[in-house]
Amino acid sequence: MNVLVVVSHSRKNSLTFQVTDRFVHGLTEAGHSAEILDLHGIGFDPLLLEGDEPSLTQEVQVFSPEVQTEMERLKKHDAVAFVFPLWWWHLPAMLKGYIDRVFNNGFAYGANKLHHQQILWIALSGVTEQQMQKRNYDESIQNLLNVGIADYCGVSRSRVEFLYETLDAAPEHYEQLLNHAYQLGLDYAKDIPAQ
């Protein structure tokens, strides 16, 4: 399987990038190929401007060159994984802007849907699992990503994997998180249920 791994974090030395590297290592060990798309690294502009605003009146919409490039990149892959920190119980603005602009009408929903076999969302959370469950934040986030985005765009096999307690933890805990990311890569083509 050819997997596009979209990572959203401003620092290359972040745990988010370490998780990405370990996840990709697992993917390649399992025989998959992967391309890492570093949204900050390519200078992706997350602002949805008028030219890329979804149009329900045009049969074929012409998008900006930046968005068209990313649509073409997605077409080359069988599946997608997103790696990102949870900020305010949501996607970082950069990743939200990527989805706003690239998962556009006529490409990802509407007349056409995404062709990808599955999506995995790897969300790094500074809080504990209990804190995430306290007000059903976990269920809200899972519903948003699995149903509100993936399923709406035609991808029924979607899962959110939370990596908890990513702030100021002991080195052993960080290593456990990285090992978990590696295992997610090894098991990527398995066990993602349809929504």
User: pLDDT digits over 76-124, tens only?
Assistant: 999 999 999 999 999 999 999 999 999 999 999 998 999 999 999 999 9
For residues 30 and 37, give the distance between their C-alpha atoms in angstroms, rounded to a whole number.
Answer: 20
Q: Is 92 left (phi over 0), alpha (psi -120 to 50) or beta?
A: beta
pLDDT recorded at residue 192: 61
Taking only the tens place, the pLDDT of each residue in 6-37 is: 999 999 999 999 999 999 999 999 999 999 99
For residues 61 and 19, give the distance between their C-alpha atoms in angstroms, rounded to a whole number.
Answer: 36
Q: Report pTM.
A: 0.95
Cβ 25 vs Cβ 35: under 8 Å = no
Mean pLDDT computed over 178-195:
83
Residue with tokens 């596009």: 4
Taking only the tens place, the pLDDT of each residue in 138-181 is: 999 999 999 999 999 999 999 999 999 999 889 999 999 999 99
Evaluate whether residue 194 is within a structural domain: no
Domain count, the chain: 1
Indicate if the pLDDT at residue 60 is higher than 90: no
For 90, the domain range is 2-53+61-186
Residue 80's CATH number? 3.40.50.360
Band of residue 55 on the pLDDT scale cut at 50, 70, 90: confident
Evaluate whether residue 114 is within a structural domain: yes
Evaluate whether residue 19 is within a structural domain: yes
Indicate if the pLDDT at residue 45 is higher than 60: yes
